[in-house]
């Protein structure tokens, strides 16, 4: 089986890495050590499995890991979004209560002032 | 003109089995935002563990998504309602200068009303400030913004 000690990302792939780094406001080059360490983790995990079962290809193992990471990430993200939206709902709920209190106060004052006008007419 | 392009390179600590470097590069670039999920914990997983964890995440994700979509609907409605009430108060505030003037007149004519004039005038002034002079309520402007996927 062919093995590699390094990988060169082509222009499109590199652009993706650059965009990702920009979004996180970090240097693109600091993304590379993360890739390196994840590949190390996956390689070691795969190697343990490969020792037990020679039919497990690195590629299959790698892709399964990536899919897991994607789902796990989406789940975490969704939990965070839920918190964010729930928090915002609460903020708006309080705003509504406040608007109503302000409104009722002012209408009460207006009615009292009006009642004097009507009484004097 | 020469267009400056950067091609990144990553060196591995091990010899990685790989028949298709283009595919590995594409996969890594695509899954990049999710890599942080892979901690040392996964090192002891075999293929069935990975599948089981993936299945669990999927299973938890679907009902959560439904819940999320309901919550988001509620958010949209409450936001609309808050905006309506804010603008109602804003419209009311437009005529409140007259009420303020009237209260001052009544106060100076010593008309007895079941209210404290100073407090009432203060409230009216606050109302005008709050809904006209002051800029839009930040709580209404601020949107729930999510990171670009």
| ipTM of the complex model | 0.79
**What are the residue boundaries of the structural domains of chain A, listed by start?**
9-56, 73-121
Segment holding A6, helix H or strand E: strand A3-8
β-pairing verdict for A3-8 and B9-17: antiparallel
Instruction: Give B50-77 pLDDT, tens digit per residue.
Output: 999 999 999 999 999 999 999 999 999 9
Q: Identify which of B15, B115, B144 has the shortest CB distance to residue A3.
A: B15
Q: What pLDDT shows up at residue A27?
A: 92
Would you call A38 an interface residue with chain B, using a CB distance cutoff of 8 Å? yes
Pairwise CA distance, residues A103 & A109, whole Å = 10
What integer is the mean pLDDT of B83-109?
94
Please report whether residue B53 resides in a domain.
yes
Q: Using the Cα atoms of residue A74, residue A89, residue B90 and residue B125 in order, give the sign of their dihedral.
A: negative
Please report whether residue B121 resides in a domain.
yes
Q: In this structure, how many other beta carbons lie within 10 angstroms of the beta carbon of residue A62?
A: 23
Overall number of domains in chain B? 1
- A52: Cβ contacts below 8 Å, ≥ 6 apart: B46
Please report whether residue B102 resides in a domain.
yes
Average pLDDT, chain B: 89
Instruction: Give B22-45 pLDDT, tens digit per residue.
Output: 999 999 999 999 999 998 888 889
Chain B: give the shortest CA distance to residue A48, in Å: 8
Interface test with B, best of A69, A112, A121 (most B CBs within 10 A): A69
Q: Is B130–A49 a contact, with Cβ atoms under 8 angstroms apart? A: no
Q: What pLDDT shows up at residue B143?
A: 61
The model's pTM: 0.74
**Which residue's structure tokens are 């060169």?**
A8
Please report whether residue B74 resides in a domain.
yes
Q: Percent helix, strand, coil in chain B (nearest 5)?
A: 70, 5, 25
Domain of B56, in residue numbers: 49-141
């Amino acid at each position: 089986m062919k093995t590699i000690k390094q990988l060169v990302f082509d222009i499109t792939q590199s652009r993706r890495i650059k965009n990702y780094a920009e979004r996180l406001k970090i240097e693109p080059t600091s993304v590379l050590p993360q890739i390196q360490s994840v590949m190390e983790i996956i390689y070691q995990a795969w190697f343990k499995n490969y020792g037990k079962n020679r039919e497990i290809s690195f590629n299959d193992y790698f892709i399964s890991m990536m899919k897991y990471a994607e789902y796990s990430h989406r789940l975490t993200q969704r939990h965070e979004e839920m918190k964010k939206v729930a928090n915002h709902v609460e903020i708006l709920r309080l705003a509504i209560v406040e608007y109503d209190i302000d409104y009722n106060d002012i209408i009460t004052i207006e009615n009292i002032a009006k009642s004097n006008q009507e009484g004097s007419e | 003109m020469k267009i400056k392009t950067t091609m990144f390179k990553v060196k591995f600590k091990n010899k990685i089995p790989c028949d298709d470097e283009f595919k590995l590069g594409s996969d890594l670039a695509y899954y990049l935002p999710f890599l942080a999920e892979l901690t040392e914990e996964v090192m002891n997983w075999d293929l069935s563990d990975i599948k089981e964890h993936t299945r669990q995440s999927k299973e938890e994700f679907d009902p959560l998504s439904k819940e999320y979509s309901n919550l988001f609907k509620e958010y949209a409605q409450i936001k609309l309602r808050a905006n309506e009430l804010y603008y109602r108060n804003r419209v009311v505030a437009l005529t409140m200068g007259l009420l303020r003037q009237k209260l001052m007149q009544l106060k100076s004519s010593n008309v007895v009303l079941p209210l404290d004039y100073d407090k009432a005038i203060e409230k009216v002034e606050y109302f005008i400030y709050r809904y006209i002079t002051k800029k839009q309520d930040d709580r209404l402007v601020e949107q729930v913004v999510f990171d670009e996927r």
